Amino acid sequence: MSLPPLHSFKVFESVARLGNISAAADELHVTAGAVSQQLKTLQASLGVELLVKQGRQLVLTDSGRILQKHVASAIREIGGAVSVLRSANIKPDEVKHLTLSIPGSYGLSWLTTRLFRFMDENRHIKLKVITESGFGVIDWRRTDLAVSYGTPPESGYWWRLLHGIRLTPVCSPQLLRGDRALRHVRDLAHHRLLHEDDGRQWRRWLTEAGGQDREYTDVHFEDFGMVLEAAKDGFGVALSDEVVSARDLDDGRLVQPFTLSVPALHNYYCVCSESTRSRPEVLELIEWLAGSPAP
């Protein structure tokens, strides 16, 4: 059986990861129409539906999830093989140095894992990682590339969506037991909703879940790490991302009482100047961070 065009798999992986045709088109530097046509061609060739519309997002079908897993793995393997070949023939004077700024916030183990993998497979690039409290305080005189959390930066910077966050409630396992156990969305009325904003994100989730809105008089934490620590200690329910909270979920310190997830108001972005992006080593790191599947 002949394979569909290989480029259509790359297009599919981008849409599957970003959940949006326009975002994938920006990433691939093509038109949204070209992306849609590639998806139609791939689905027609395979004879299965891979993505379905859910609100403003495109979500994977069961078949789509199977294909996405293997395609993302294949892309990473190819990228790793290319990096190994380059590293094997690297000369001392060909080593490139990069300084990457990352947010000094909780929940970046997913990013740390990707960075170590990148350094293992790209010996020709020496990476220095620094932390800054926010995008506005990044010193671009010593920073080549930044991972920023929030909204896309204003004009003057090139940016690319790195990790599109979808949020779902998380809490301590102890909140699943007792008279006020979380079994239905209405049970949230008996528990404190922990948040790091003015309550907009919780309102968005409750609206999608058909739950009842409420006043947000509880203390709000500016540090997301404090939100998750409070959730782990049983003081309430937080909204978090499966990737950011992967370790706590795997270890059982946090559980997901409900399955519904909604797009976050803020996301992670790779940011740099237009001139810096033209450097091959910068582009390599951007592609790695954006394309490497979550651990």
The overall average pLDDT reported for the chain is: 82
Report how many helices (DSSP H) and strands (DSSP E) the chain contains, helices first: 10, 10
Number of alpha carbons in the 13 Å side-chain half-sphere of residue 266: 12
d(C-alpha 201, C-alpha 207), whole Å: 10
Q: Is residue 226 part of a domain?
A: yes
Do 195 and 245 lie in one domain? The reply is yes
Do 110 and 145 lie in one domain? The reply is yes
Q: Assign 273 a pLDDT band (cuts: 50, 70, 90).
A: confident
Do 154 and 102 lie in one domain? The reply is yes
Q: 22-29, long-range: CB within 8 Å, 24+ apart, which pairs? A: 23/161, 23/164, 26/160, 27/160, 27/161, 27/290
Q: Judge whether 207 and 263 are in contact, CB under 8 Å.
A: no
Domain range for 145 is: 92-163+267-291
Percent pLDDT > 70 in the chain is 88
**Structure confidence by residue, pLDDT tens digits, 39-83:** 998 988 898 899 888 766 778 888 988 998 888 888 777 776 766
Q: Is residue 81 part of a domain?
A: no
**Structure confidence by residue, pLDDT tens digits, 134-177:** 788 888 888 999 988 888 777 788 888 876 678 899 999 999 99
Q: Is residue 78 part of a domain?
A: no
CATH for 224: 3.40.190.10
Q: Is residue 31 part of a domain?
A: yes
Tally of structural domains, the chain: 3
Q: Is residue 65 part of a domain?
A: yes
Q: Is residue 83 part of a domain?
A: no
Do 63 and 98 lie in one domain? The reply is no
**Residue 212 identity:** Q
**Structure confidence by residue, pLDDT tens digits, 9-25:** 888 888 888 777 887 88
CATH for 18: 1.10.10.10
Do 37 and 115 lie in one domain? The reply is no
Do 105 and 118 lie in one domain? The reply is yes
Q: Is residue 86 part of a domain?
A: no
Report pLDDT for 293. Answer: 44
Do 159 and 170 lie in one domain? The reply is no
Nearest partner of 100 among 67, 123, 76, 128, judged by Cα: 128
Instruction: Write the Ramachandran bin of 178: left for phi over 0, alpha for psi from -120 to 50, otherwise beta.
Output: left
Neighbours of 25 (CB within 10 A): 20
